[in-house]
């Protein structure tokens, strides 16, 4: 009997790389994946284009997963990620990418240079290492490559969308060529050429947090595109809206506020590179969750017949107030205070939707609530880490964060009242100063979203 249909293993043992060489390549890839998702997270707040923000938010999480899986493989290859050294050319490439000046240049840096380099390097390494002895690496790289290819296609579509004239296309090409020179230096270094080495991971903060240092956010508020009419403060409620109008209003605000939370977390990753990788991993996951919360509110708004920009909003919702605080106070106000309080409201919305037969809205909040419970755990975990698990310090930071938040709101209300009432009037929303102040105070620790 001839056996012609059964699948047989045709692989051969030989490969070109011993464990050490393989690990050196994977450490370099992990470095680029980690630094790239941090760049994308930090850029979200300074990217005007709504749709670009949302998709890069998902790519932040995919990049974090790539870096985590590459790190696990490094440990298996006797080269823990925190103990490895990588060529300084990788840092130079990332720094050059971060000098991009607008959305077009940033997309070129990531989606025409860094991610295509990674996709090609993954295929090259998979072809050079032993398909039998190093099968875990081969399988890992085969899993990661399709994500990169999909991301690259998306990025290229937006580069073409934004490069609308010859001058922009020429600028994109110049940016690409400049960064390709850095990629050439990376390739040369990884091929064994003489090179400076740096730690693959920055040293963790020690002590974990030093109190009393002045803090000034690098980005005070998130930007929005021309679809939005900005307010100076978070939009108060309309007086006595009908149920349909109230749901429009809630979904519109939620889409803004949830995206603002994603932008905030992206800046946290960007501005605190020395925090442990596990911190960035948790923040990357929450960034994607907040993007999805924005998306479900946006889709619900459109299903109801609404559209983005139909109401004025403060760019990023609570972004500026939260971003005005240093890291421990930001984590304290975001998780243990505001998200925990918001969860109570979400439960009310679920029951309200079910009682009214509005299954779509109830479903939306049910899944958002599942995520938010995890987010409170993330923030509480890292607040405790920064405090060296001292409960008294954590409680003090939470109380200080409440006071800082209240003080910020008082300053903003005083500055924003006249401006915001004029903007609201354009949308046929009329509120006196006393009502606006009362609503702002009521909403402070009972956020409708994020």
Residues 188 and 329 in one domain: no
Over pLDDT 90: what percentage of the chain? 80
Residue-number span of the structural domain to which 59 is assigned: 19-199
The answer to whether residue 42 sits within a structural domain is yes
Q: Residue 414 and residue 362: Cα distance in Å, rounded? A: 36
Residues 426 and 345 in one domain: yes
CATH of the domain at 184: 1.20.1260.10
CB 260 within 8 A of CB 319: yes
The answer to whether residue 14 sits within a structural domain is no
User: Which SS3 state, helix, strand or coil, does residue 35 take?
Assistant: helix
Q: Residue 26 and residue 282: Cα distance in Å, rounded? A: 22
The answer to whether residue 6 sits within a structural domain is no
The answer to whether residue 215 sits within a structural domain is no
Q: Give the global pTM.
A: 0.94
CB-count exposure of residue 266 (10 Å: 0-12, 13-18, 19+):
buried
The answer to whether residue 211 sits within a structural domain is no
The answer to whether residue 7 sits within a structural domain is no
Write down the pLDDT at residue 343: 81
Residue 128 has φ and ψ, to the nearest 5°, of -100, -30
Question: Among 263, 414, 267, which Cα is nearest to 326's?
Answer: 267
Residues 370 and 435 in one domain: yes
Q: Which of 166, 199, 232 is the last residue of a domain?
A: 199
Does position 368 have pLDDT exceeding 60, yes or no?
yes
Residues 345 and 397 in one domain: yes
Q: b vs e for 129-147, b when ≥16 Cβ sit within 10 Å of the residue's Cβ?
A: bbbebbeebbebbeebbeb
- Residues in CB range of 356: below 8 A, 6 or more apart: none
User: Which SS3 state, helix, strand or coil, does residue 44 take?
Assistant: helix
Instruction: Work out the average pLDDT over 416-433.
Output: 89
Does position 87 have pLDDT exceeding 70, yes or no?
yes
DSSP 261-273: HHHHHHHHHHH-T
Instruction: Work out the average pLDDT over 155-163.
Output: 97
Q: Which of 199, 229, 251 is the last residue of a domain?
A: 199
Confidence of residue 141 (pLDDT cuts 50, 70, 90): very high
The answer to whether residue 11 sits within a structural domain is no
CB atoms within 10 A of CB 299: 14
The answer to whether residue 280 sits within a structural domain is yes
Instruction: Work out the average pLDDT over 179-188.
Output: 97
Write down the pLDDT at residue 449: 54
Indicate the number of domains in the chain.
2
Write down the pLDDT at residue 327: 97
């Amino acid at each position: 009997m001839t056996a012609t249909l059964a699948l047989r293993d045709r692989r051969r043992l030989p490969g070109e790389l011993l464990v050490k060489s393989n690990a050196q390549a994977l450490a370099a890839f992990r470095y680029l994946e980690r630094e790239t998702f941090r760049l994308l997270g930090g850029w979200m707040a300074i990217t005007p284009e709504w749709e670009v923000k949302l998709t890069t938010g998902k790519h932040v999480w995919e990049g974090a997963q790539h870096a985590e899986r590459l790190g696990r493989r490094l440990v298996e290859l006797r080269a823990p990620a925190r103990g490895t050294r990588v060529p300084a050319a990788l840092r130079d490439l990332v720094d050059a990418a971060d000098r991009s000046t607008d959305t077009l240049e940033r997309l070129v840096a990531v989606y025409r240079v860094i991610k295509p380099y990674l996709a090609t390097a993954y295929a090259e390494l998979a072809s050079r290492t032993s398909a039998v002895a190093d099968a875990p690496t081969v399988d890992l790289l085969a899993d990661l490559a399709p994500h990169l290819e999909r991301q690259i296609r998306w990025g290229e579509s937006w580069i073409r969308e934004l490069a609308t004239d010859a001058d922009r296309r020429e600028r994109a090409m110049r940016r690409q060529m400049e960064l390709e020179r850095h990629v050439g230096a990376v390739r040369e270094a990884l091929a064994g050429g003489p090179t400076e080495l740096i730690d693959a991971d920055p040293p963790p903060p020690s002590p974990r947090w030093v109190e009393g240092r002045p803090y000034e956010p690098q980005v005070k508020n998130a930007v929005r595109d021309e679809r939005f009419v900005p307010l100076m403060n978070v939009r108060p409620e309309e007086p006595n809206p009908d149920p349909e109008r109230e749901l429009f209003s809630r979904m519109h605000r939620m889409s803004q506020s949830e995206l603002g939370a994603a932008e905030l977390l992206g800046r946290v990753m960007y501005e605190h590179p020395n925090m442990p990788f596990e911190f960035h991993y948790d923040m990357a996951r929450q960034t994607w969750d907040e993007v999805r919360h924005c998306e479900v509110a946006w889709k619900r708004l459109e299903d109801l017949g609404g559209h983005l920009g139909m109401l004025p909003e403060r760019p990023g919702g609570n972004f500026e107030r939260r971003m005005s605080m240093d890291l421990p106070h930001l984590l304290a106000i975001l998780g243990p205070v505001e998200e925990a309080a918001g969860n109570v409201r979400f439960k009310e919305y679920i029951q309200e939707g079910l009682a009214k037969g509005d299954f779509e809205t109830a479903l939306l909040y049910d899944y958002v609530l599942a995520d938010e419970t995890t987010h409170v755990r993330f923030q509480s975990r890292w607040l405790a880490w920064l405090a060296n698990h001292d409960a008294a310090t954590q409680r003090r930071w939470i109380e200080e964060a409440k006071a800082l938040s209240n003080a910020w709101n008082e300053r903003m209300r005083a500055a924003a009242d006249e401006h915001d009432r004029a903007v609201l009037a354009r949308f046929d929303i009329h509120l006196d100063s006393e009502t606006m102040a009362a609503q702002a105070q009521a909403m402070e620790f009972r956020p409708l979203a994020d």
